Structure 1
Amino acid sequence: MGLPMYGRTWKLKDPNQNGIAAPANGTGPGYLRVMKYSDIVDFNLANNASVVFDEETVPTYSYAGTDWIGYDGMESISNKVNFARANGLGGYFFWAVGFDKNWTISEAGSLHNIFQGW
């Protein structure tokens, strides 16, 4: 199972409507609507972005003003790794591991495997 280390960005029509499937009217920050995970972490800090984990659909998203980014954060990755284990999948991979921020997500995924006996 693939775990992306990047997010997709949008410009919200209304900054007060910012959940999953909120109306958008264009692309957000990043190159061609894509932002590396390391850049997402920096963006969130620099813009005091709100970070939300959506328990129903499992992704993480953040927003600041009209900028919106959907991605896999720590909770998303943990849920997906647990899903892979529970369903007997042979493993998972990160794409692209070089997009991580200080190996935060990579180490969490690796430590999860070591401590859970995968």
Structure 2
Amino acid sequence: MPAPALNDKCNRLLSTSTIQYAESKDSTPKLKDAPLIDTNLILNPEEVKHQKQLQECITVTEPMNISSLSGVPEEHIKNRLVRIFKPSKNAMQSGTDNTHHWEMEFETRERWENPLMGWTS
């Protein structure tokens, strides 16, 4: 035998994985794919029905009612006065600090509790 063929044969004899990856006599690998099974046969009928319902479209016959759900009373939203102003200069040396912007002041009202969140304002 030539030297490369002898070296290759020695490697095969000493290797532990040659049996696992050896090809059969018709030169096809021994590894096979798992058989394909229809999922409808495996799943429960309830699960198949649920999956079909998830894939369907939802149709609405009546018009949608879109309304405000903030929980803020109407009188706190509509009839409220706001004072928009530029802050006046301070009497200190840096009197123009924080006076180059506009501010909004809302009139204060009584406190109310938001029933959706439990917060007070």
TM over 0.5: no
Q: Which structure has more helix as a fraction of its residues?
A: 1
> What TM-score do you get using the length of structure 1 for normalisation?
0.19
- Bigger Rg, structure 1 or 2: 2
Q: Which structure has more strand as a fraction of its residues?
A: 1
Q: Which has the higher contact order (CA 8 A, sep 6+)?
A: 1
